[in-house]
């Protein structure tokens, strides 16, 4: 063989082997790097396990199982995105579970239905050793030291209190620590971001006098005021009125996806002044404004909000089991580590991610409790909503039945005919239960 061809052949063989070695080395480095990143995510989320601001498993338990917890194993639940096994895999240490009832229940049996949903959350979290029902920031932290998944109860939609501050207080007594002021319908006192329902339309009054009383009473009780689902005007009015930090428990960036459920930059600045929290949510329609999305697009929302107001005002509110579709790679609660990995690759610091995962929510919850403590000398609010603002034919009022009142015979009838015993009056007996007549 010609010497030059021999050298060329040897050289070619050497180059081929070198390329193969480089490819193998590159693959090995990629594998090692990927493993190192996964390991870093695991250690980070083990030290700062996630507090998730919104989950709709309870309504799925009602739809799929009629709230019959005895018939299911909460460690493995089919046809949903949430169960204990997947919460553990996702490093979820605290979950805000929503007691949600449809807007069609407004002015009907919303209070009863909400009580039933609170009941199923309480049972779920008290009958399973992996869960622990908590009502304070300290209890939440204590649960973490015992390796428990802390359960917080929220009410999703102000229609659930039927425009009643006493009902709000009773929900608090049952363990509710957060309430969204609206869902996809207006209440008589606050305005929704949705136009699906035409109830309680008002002009230039997105938070009524009674609505402000609701916010004030939530501040006094120590309940988180949740602005997800509210209109921009209502959210702005609440931010100007609340004495405690508020949250958007499951909302994303309007600048990235201009959906009415998302928060524009100008309102993010108002939220920062309030020392509140936006907990980025995952439903596809809020992430991409399209039918499909991926983890990268979710991370875009985090990046944008961090750029606008900083990482210290951001949390996570997945909204699992509350929407039709979720981004590829974030299909259920076990997939949270994939999001944190994406953010690490985008140069988010461990300190920033610790804040987003956990510390920001704890800070807000503790500040809400501090406002509660300062307001503790204040008595419970006795503000009642005017009957004409509710417009509910099923709503009962407390007044004297007409059949108990003597016939009106004019101003001189009592002097002419006398009155045996005590005259009934609205002032004398104000609380006899009858309906509208």
Q: Which residues are catalytic?
A: 54, 56, 156, 183, 229, 250, 319
Which pair of tokens denotes residue 267? Answer: 């309102």
Using CA atoms, how far apart are residues 50 and 390, in angstroms rounded to an integer?
Answer: 40
Using CA atoms, how far apart are residues 332 and 330, in angstroms rounded to an integer?
Answer: 6
SS3 192: strand
DSSP class of residue 184 equals: S
With a CB cutoff of 8 Å and minimum separation 6, the contacts of 310 are 272
CB atoms within 10 A of CB 413: 13
**What is each CA distance from 34 to 24, 91, 204, 329, 330, in whole angstroms?**
15, 19, 54, 16, 18
Rg, the chain, Cα only: 28
CA dihedral sign of residues 118, 96, 154, 111: negative
Helices (H) and strands (E) in the chain, counts: 16, 11
CB atoms within 10 A of CB 288: 18
**What is each CA distance from 66 to 62, 97, 128, 323, in whole angstroms?**
4, 17, 18, 19
Using CA atoms, how far apart are residues 304 and 300, in angstroms rounded to an integer?
Answer: 6
Using CA atoms, how far apart are residues 155 and 159, in angstroms rounded to an integer?
Answer: 10
DSSP class of residue 223 equals: P
DSSP class of residue 132 equals: E
Q: How many CA atoms lie within 13 A of 7 on its CB side?
A: 3
């Amino acid at each position: 063989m010609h010497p030059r061809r021999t050298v060329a052949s040897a050289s070619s063989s050497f180059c081929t082997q070198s390329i193969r070695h480089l490819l193998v080395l590159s693959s090995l480095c990629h594998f090692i790097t990927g493993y190192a990143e996964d390991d870093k995510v695991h250690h980070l989320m083990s030290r700062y396990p996630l507090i998730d601001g919104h989950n709709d498993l309870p309504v799925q338990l009602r739809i799929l199982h009629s709230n019959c917890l005895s018939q299911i194993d909460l460690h493995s639940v089919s046809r949903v995105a949430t169960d204990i096994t997947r919460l553990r895999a996702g490093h979820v240490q605290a979950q805000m579970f929503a007691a949600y009832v449809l807007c069609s229940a407004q002015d009907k049996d919303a209070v009863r239905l909400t009580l039933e949903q609170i009941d199923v959350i309480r049972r779920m979290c008290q009958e399973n050793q992996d869960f622990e029902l908590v009502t304070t920031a300290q209890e939440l932290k204590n649960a973490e030291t015992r390796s428990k998944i802390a359960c917080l109860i929220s009410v999703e939609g102000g229609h659930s209190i039927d425009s009643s501050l006493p009902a709000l207080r009773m929900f608090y007594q049952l363990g509710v620590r957060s309430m969204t002021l609206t869902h996809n319908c207006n209440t008589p006192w606050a305005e929704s971001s949705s136009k699906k329902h035409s109830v309680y339309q008002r002009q230039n009054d997105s938070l009524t006098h009674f609505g402000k009383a609701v916010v004030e009473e939530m501040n006094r009780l120590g309940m988180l005021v949740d602005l997800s689902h509210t209109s921009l005007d209502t959210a702005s009015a609440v931010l100007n009125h609340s004495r405690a930090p508020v949250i958007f428990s499951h909302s994303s960036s309007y600048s990235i996806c201009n959906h009415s459920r998302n928060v524009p930059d100008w309102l993010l600045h108002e939220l920062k002044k309030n020392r509140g929290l936006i907990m980025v949510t995952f439903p596809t329609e809020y992430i991409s404004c399209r039918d499909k999305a991926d983890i990268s697009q979710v991370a875009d929302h985090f990046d944008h909000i961090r750029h606008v107001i900083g990482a210290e005002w951001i949390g996570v509110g997945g909204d699992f089991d509350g929407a039709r579709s979720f981004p590829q790679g974030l299909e259920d609660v076990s997939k949270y580590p994939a999001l944190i990995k994406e953010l690490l690759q985008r140069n988010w610091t461990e300190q920033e991610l610790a804040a987003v995962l956990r510390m920001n929510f704890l800070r807000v919850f503790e500040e809400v409790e501090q406002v509660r403590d300062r307001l503790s000398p204040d008595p419970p609010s006795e503000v009642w909503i005017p009957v004409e603002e509710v417009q509910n034919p099923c709503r009962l009022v407390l007044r004297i039945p007409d059949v108990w009142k003597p016939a009106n015979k004019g101003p001189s009838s009592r002097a002419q005919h006398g009155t045996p015993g005590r005259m009934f009056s609205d002032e004398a007996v104000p609380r006899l239960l009858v309906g509208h007549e």
